[in-house]
Amino acid sequence: MNRLGELERAIMDVLWESETQLTVRQVGSRLTDRDLAHTTVMTVLDRLAKKGFARRERDGRAWLYRAAASREAYVTELMLHALDQTGDRSAALASFARRVSDTEARVLRRALETGGDPARS
């Protein structure tokens, strides 16, 4: 992953972990191990806001940032899309195996045990 992608990820982690909205300086101070310039943090937060992953509102002269949705909500979105359950059925992804019913799964397992053709078992 490139440096920018990695920074976006680290900053989203900060926003997800925070209970409250954060200023650019507060976000920077929670990434102490990285020693980032203030403008770098500001640029990345701006990008995240433009992509819709962060929300911001003005508080006096500073911007306050928070995550647009929780990490869990985004993970759920990924999985719904992956399992083709969003309803748009755009075939953007190629899923390994679709749902089989319990009956089908039983038939298939029996076929596997006998090593034969499930149609004949």
Residues in contact with other proteins by the rule CB under 8 A: 1, 5, 8-9, 12, 51, 53, 71, 74-79, 81-85, 87-102, 104-105, 107-109, 111-112, 115-119
- Shortest approach of other proteins to residue 43 CB, angstroms? 17
- Shortest approach of other proteins to residue 32 CB, angstroms? 21
Measured from the CB atom, the residue of 11 and 24 that comes closer to other proteins is 11
Q: In whole angstroms, what is the distance from residue 92 CA to residue 43 CA?
A: 30
Measured from the CB atom, the residue of 34 and 59 that comes closer to other proteins is 34
Q: In whole angstroms, what is the distance from residue 46 CA to residue 40 CA?
A: 10
Whether the CB-CB separation of 11 and 45 falls below 8 Å is answered with yes
Instruction: Give the count of beta carbons closer than 10 Å to the beta carbon of residue 84.
Output: 16
Measured from the CB atom, the residue of 37 and 91 that comes closer to other proteins is 91
Helix (H) or strand (E) holding 66: strand 62-67
